[in-house]
Structure 1
Amino acid sequence: MARRTFFSFHYEPDVWRAWNVRNSWVVKPENQESVGFFDSSVFESSKKESPDALKTFLRKGVVNTSVTCVLTGKDTWQRRWVRYEIARSVLKGNGILTVHIHGVKNKDGVLGTKGANPLDAMGLYKTSNGIFLAEWTDGKWQRYSDYTTAIPAGDLWFKAPSTDTVDALSKHCLTYDFSAQNGRQNIGGWIETAAGLAGR
């Protein structure tokens, strides 16, 4: 069965690095299928229409995927649309992993700077009204603004929060460094591990 993987990343600075990482994923080509790697021009045109149009575009991108791989550069953790892709992945029950890609050269042969893990900046918490997504913004946790509906605990593949203290998603998902951990050889296994953790 093909492993359908959505790749989430910050386009402008990291598309070249992301493209190289995605193309290195050749461990078992018969068991892989990248369905979430968009041409930047398509992404930008959707973004120009309206935020709602871009949300629709990104929701469709996650459909029929089982894993979301967050390819992380310097500022990925604070990008609105990366956060939205992560949120939709949580709602869908995808396995999620972070792969730092700062050690991959860009088209000019320049290395990047390591950024924070985006999964440290998103999480879940419980109130008397249900379980909600949270995001780290302006130096504190706040209810996630792009999806404000309660999430049934049974929809989560990991242990649901039991208090109003935010559990960061990174508590449940694994993180890797593409360059330091031989991602060219290992990324297929990382994706399979993320799928397995989510029961996908």
Structure 2
Amino acid sequence: MARKVFYSFHYVPDCVRAAQVRNMGVLEGNLLATDNEWESVTKAGEGAIKRWIDTQLEGKSCAVVLVGAGTARRKWIDYEIKTAWNAGKGVVGVHIHRLKDFAGLQSVQGANPFGHFNMDRDGSSLSSIVRCYNPPHADSRQCYAYIEANLATWIEEAIGIRAAYR
């Protein structure tokens, strides 16, 4: 049975790249909000956004952060990372900048989104605990194949890392 995961990503620039990962069928992921649904959630304010994210995280065992050029330090992505980690869920990052968008373009590599989180226990960075994978291929097809071949393993590893960090 496939794990249920929550996908976190910067919607506007990375939705096509994120859809490629989500459509691999390796894992069961959260449903994307339609533009209309997301607009109504955001118009309702920060509390509504938090409730929507919290609801999407329910029943998921891991948050998969799909890292694009501008993913790190985005307010709601940070909220998703922090909420998933604090709820005891696995957290893992996957760089998706080499996957092509609808225009056939790749992007630049973004920063590790876990680097600015400090752990209460010892002050170390979350990036020293949570892994953020960068596929070693420049070609979009090879990058896709690499993610597809490894994503389920990365998820299991992230769940194990979080379980060991109690």
TM-score relative to the length of structure 1: 0.72
Deviations 1:149-184 (A, max 9, x none): xxxxxxxxxxxx24xxx3211111111124636112
Counterpart in the other structure of 1:18: 18
1:189 partnered with 2:153: yes
Cα offset, 1:40, TM superposition: 4.4
Aligned counterpart for 2:45 among listed residues 50, 56, 62: 50
User: How many pairs are equivalent?
Assistant: 156
Shift of 1:89: 0.4
Alpha carbons 1:4, 1:64 under 8 Å: kept: yes
Equivalent-residue separation in structure 1 for 2:135 and 2:19 (angstroms):
13
Which one of the candidate residues 68, 72, 97 is aligned to 1:73? 68
Structure with the larger strand share: 1
Q: Which residue of 2 aligns with 1:85?
A: 80
Cα distance change, pair 187–79 in 1 and its aligned pair in 2 (3 A): same
Please give the residue correspondences for 1:27-66 in structure 2 after superposition, counting only pairs within 5 Å: 32-35=27-30, 37-41=31-35, 42-66=37-61
| Superposed CA RMSD | 1.8
Q: What does residue 167 of structure 1 align with?
A: 124
> Secondary structure of 1:18's match?
helix
Cα distance in 1 for residues equivalent to 2:10 and 2:34: 10
Q: Counterparts of 1:104-119 in structure 2 under 5 Å?
A: 104-119=99-114
More helix by share: 2
The runs of 4+ residues in structure 1 deviating greater than 6 Å are none
AA aligned to 2:11 is Y
Distance 1:16 1:70, change over 3 A: same
User: How many percent identity over aligned positions?
Assistant: 34
Where does structure 1 lack aligned partners over 5 or more consecutive residues? 27-31, 126-160
Maintained 8 Å contact 1:120/1:169: yes
Question: Separation in 2 of the partners of 1:62 and 1:188?
Answer: 18
Distance, in Å, in 1 between the alignment partners of 2:151 and 2:114 is 18
Q: Deviation string for 1:73-131 (max 9, x for gaps)?
A: 11100210000001110111011111000000011111011010111122223xxxxxx
Q: Supply the distance in 2 between the matched residues of 1:15 and 1:179 (Cα, whole angstroms).
A: 22
Give the aligned residue type for 1:3: R
1:26-81 deviation per Cα after TM superposition (whole angstroms, max 9, x unaligned): 3xxxxx3212x423413333112101110111111111111110000111002100
Q: Which residue of 2 aligns with 1:150?
A: none
